[in-house]
């Protein structure tokens, strides 16, 4: 399967050398196989051709204001302290519910501790944490994301909906996900 995916991605790269998509696809294929030198080569090619990818971001509307989050941290947000506290609280609740971060969704050559840290600050988790702080109980939390939600975030948000008793609707690049009572409307086919 990986061989045919690699061939297809390389063909796409030949057809559209200025499009970031085929680079990212091929990079993810290499990363999933642990081919870090090939990943680094692709990144160098992207830089030399001035090809850049849009960063993953999520946004949520609260009181007629849109709040945008990018993966990594939320320090630029005026309420970052509260968001980080909510993430800490959620981390405890999720561990108690049996959640364990899935580092296989971090396609970077870093150790497991760094992978867990990276997963914790994905943009959709930041937006959900902010929603839990600001959206009144009984109202759904609605988050938009410019890319596909990662598998770890999907699992975590299902549990967040369950442990908080909240309804969370996330629109990613592929579909709507309606999280409620520990389940998602996509039936884990996203």
In order along its 190 residues, the chain shows pLDDT tens digits of 557 888 888 888 889 888 888 888 888 788 778 788 888 898 898 889 888 877 889 999 999 999 999 988 788 899 999 999 999 999 999 999 998 777 555 545 445 666 555 678 899 999 999 999 999 999 999 999 998 898 889 999 999 999 999 999 999 988 999 999 999 999 988 6
- Is 100 found in the same domain as 23? no
In a domain, 159, yes or no: yes
The b/e string for 57-93 (b: 16+ C-beta within 10 A; e otherwise) is bbbbeeeeeebebbbeebeebeeeebbbebbeebeee
Q: Assess whether 41 and 91 both reside in one domain.
A: no
Cα dist. 145→109, 160, 168 in Å? 25, 17, 13
Note the residue count of the chain. 190
Residue 68 lies in a domain: no
Query: Please, what is the end-to-end C-alpha distance for the chain in angstroms?
Result: 19
Establish if 95 belongs to a structural domain.
Answer: yes
Give me the domain span that covers residue 158: 74-184
Measured in degrees and rounded to the nearest 5, phi and psi for residue 75 equal -60, -25
Count the Cβ atoms, other than its own, within 10 Å of residue 131.
23
pLDDT at 18: 87
Cα–Cα distance, 87 to 81 (Å, whole number)? 10
Quick one: 23 and 87 in the same domain?
no
What is the number of domains present in the chain?
A: 2
The H or E element spanning position 190 is none
Question: Strands (DSSP E) along the chain, which ranges?
Answer: 57-62, 65-70, 141-145, 168-171, 176-180, 183-184
Same domain, 83 and 159: yes
Q: What local confidence, expressed as pLDDT, does residue 110 receive?
A: 47
Domain-located, residue 53:
no
44 in the same domain as 118: no
Do 127 and 176 share a domain, yes or no? yes
pLDDT of residue 12: 87
> Which has the closest alpha carbon to 142: 168, 113, 160?
168
Give yes or no: residues 100 and 17 share one domain.
no
């Amino acid at each position: 399967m990986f061989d045919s995916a690699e061939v297809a991605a390389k063909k796409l790269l030949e057809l559209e050398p200025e499009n970031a998509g085929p680079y990212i696809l091929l990079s993810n294929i290499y990363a999933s196989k642990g081919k870090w030198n090939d990943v680094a080569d692709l990144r160098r090619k992207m830089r030399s051709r001035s090809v850049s990818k849009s960063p993953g971001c999520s946004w949520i509307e609260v009181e007629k204001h849109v709040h945008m989050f990018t993966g990594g941290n939320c320090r630029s947000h005026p309420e970052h302290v509260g968001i980080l506290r909510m993430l800490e609280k959620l981390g405890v609740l999720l561990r108690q519910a049996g959640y364990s971060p899935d580092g296989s969704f971090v396609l970077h050559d870093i150790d497991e501790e760094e992978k867990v840290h990276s997963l914790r600050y994905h943009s959709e988790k930041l937006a959900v944490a902010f929603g839990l702080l600001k959206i009144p109980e009984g109202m759904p939390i609605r988050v938009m994301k410019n890319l596909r939600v990662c598998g770890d975030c999907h699992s975590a948000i299902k549990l967040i909906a369950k442990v908080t008793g909240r309804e969370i609707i996330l629109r990613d690049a592929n579909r709507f996900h309606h999280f409620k009572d520990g389940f998602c409307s996509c039936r884990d086919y996203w």
